[in-house]
């Protein structure tokens, strides 16, 4: 018998990096893009198999560690069986692959022992694993992925779930360049040491944008939301977190009629997101592909879906 447990990818709409320094940020789950963990109860000690994810080398330890800390936290007996990971989320692309795999493993490990894990508990365990991937995570990735709801997040506070009234149509375009969150976060840390006034002001301005974006999301003001995305991209770019490939994708999306576009996640590679009205979706997608996107995924955000 096998059963499957999963968690979604995520996109940060506003506030990446600034959120590491106490500013708020807004993130949404990408339910169409999932990491799944299939369980097979056996009498042998737990084995975790990562399938079909090129470049996933070296990630075995965090996978084992996630199962181990789930077992310890829930006071479970030794885990027996197999967990097979199948992830549709590209790694090192800002879409939360690591946190989604951890969340799926936590759910699967609990199920192997015949129990379930509460989201609050799972969230704190996934956060522990996030710390292994990159030193100083804000906690936004694990929160949006575990709760699978759009959220307004600030480190040290309970995440606030956002009600998105007018559904958002996002195109998520992959530059095909892998970039580690750890490196991008370290870059901002260095900038804060070398140019503290400039970096602090940029991070504060990003925080201010997040507050405006929250109001627009709740009021369904998508045109203004798009402008705020462009402003957020410009600030991330000024902080040295964009790349020529990402800038070209943002420009292509805007030329095709997107209301706004920005890099999403840690940057320096990975993905951009474009807020794209339905009427412009085909044109924007084609332009993104011509501009060098490796893949373009369409996501509709709003309403509260959750898959098994």
Closest CA to 212 of 199, 196, 200, 230: 230
Query: Binding ligand MEV by CB under 6 A: which of 17, 36, 233, 262?
Result: 17
Interaction residues for ligand MEV, span 96-155 (CB under 6 A): 137-138, 140-141
b (16+ CB within 10 A) / e for 248-270: bbbebbbebbbbbbbbbbbbbbb
**Going residue by residue from 148 to 187, which x/- string records binding to ligand MEV, judged by CB under 6 A?**
---------------------------------x--xx--
Q: How far is the CB of 270 from ligand MEV (least distance, A)?
A: 9
Q: How far is the CB of 46 from ligand MEV (least distance, A)?
A: 29
Tell me whether residue 141 is one of the annotated catalytic residues. yes
Q: Does residue 262 belong to the site contacting ligand MEV (CB under 6 A)?
A: no
- Nearer Cβ to ligand MEV, position 131 or 290? 131
Rounded distance between C-alpha atoms, residue 250 and residue 271, angstroms = 10
Collapse the DSSP code of 78 into the 3-class scheme (helix H, G, I; strand E, B; otherwise coil) and give the result.
coil
Closest CA to 39 of 60, 73, 67: 67
Residue nearest to ligand MEV (CB): 138
Query: Binding ligand MEV by CB under 6 A: which of 24, 94, 98, 150?
Result: 94
Q: Does residue 271 belong to the site contacting ligand MEV (CB under 6 A)?
A: no
Residue 102 vs residues 26, 114, 130, 211, 296: alpha-carbon distances, Å: 21, 19, 9, 30, 25
Separation of CA 58 from chain center: 20
Q: Does residue 268 belong to the site contacting ligand MEV (CB under 6 A)?
A: no
Within the chain, residue ranges assigned H as helices are 60-74, 97-112, 119-133, 140-147, 181-194, 196-219, 222-238, 244-255, 281-290
Other CB atoms within 10 A of residue 292 CB: 16
Rounded distance between C-alpha atoms, residue 245 and residue 198, angstroms = 25
Q: How far is the CB of 173 from ligand MEV (least distance, A)?
A: 17
- Nearer Cβ to ligand MEV, position 180 or 251? 180
Q: How far is the CB of 153 from ligand MEV (least distance, A)?
A: 9
The footprint of ligand MEV on this chain (CB under 6 A) covers a number of residues equal to 15
Query: Binding ligand MEV by CB under 6 A: which of 12, 129, 274, 281?
Result: 12
Catalog residues that contact ligand MEV under the rule CB under 6 A: 12, 16-17, 19-20, 94, 137-138, 140-141, 181, 184-185, 265-266
Supply the residues annotated as catalytic.
141
């Amino acid at each position: 018998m096998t059963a499957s447990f999963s968690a979604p990818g995520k996109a940060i709409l506003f506030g990446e990096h600034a959120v590491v320094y106490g500013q708020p940020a807004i993130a949404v789950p990408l339910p169409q893009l999932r990491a799944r963990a299939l369980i097979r109860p056996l009498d042998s000690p737990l084995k975790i198999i990562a399938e079909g994810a090129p470049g996933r080398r070296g990630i075995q330890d965090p996978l084992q560690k996630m199962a181990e800390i789930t077992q310890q936290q829930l006071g479970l007996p030794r885990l027996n069986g197999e967990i097979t990971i199948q992830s549709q989320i590209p790694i090192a692309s800002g879409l939360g692959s690591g946190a989604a795999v951890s969340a799926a493993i936590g759910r699967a490990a609990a199920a192997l022992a015949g129990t379930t894990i509460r989201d609050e508990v799972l969230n704190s365990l996934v956060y522990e694993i996030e710390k292994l991937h990159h030193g100083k995570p804000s906690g936004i990735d694990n929160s949006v992925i575990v709760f699978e709801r759009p959220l307004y997040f600030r480190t040290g506070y309970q995440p606030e779930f956002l009600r998105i009234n007018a559904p958002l149509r996002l195109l998520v375009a992959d530059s095909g360049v892998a970039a580690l969150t750890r490196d991008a976060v370290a870059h901002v840390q260095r900038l804060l040491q070398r140019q503290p006034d400039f970096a602090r002001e940029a991070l504060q301005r990003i925080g201010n944008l997040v507050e405006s974006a929250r109001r627009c999301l709740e009021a369904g003001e998508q045109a203004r939301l798009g402008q705020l995305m462009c402003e957020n991209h410009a600030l991330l770019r000024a902080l040295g977190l964009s790349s020529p490939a990402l800038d070209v994708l943002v420009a292509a999306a805007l030329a095709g009629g997107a209301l706004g576009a920005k890099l999403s996640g840690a940057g320096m590679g990975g993905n951009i997101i474009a807020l794209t009205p339905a009427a412009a979706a085909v044109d924007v997608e084609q332009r993104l592909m011509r501009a060098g996107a490796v893949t373009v995924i369409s996501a509709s955000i709003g309403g509260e879906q959750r898959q098994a």
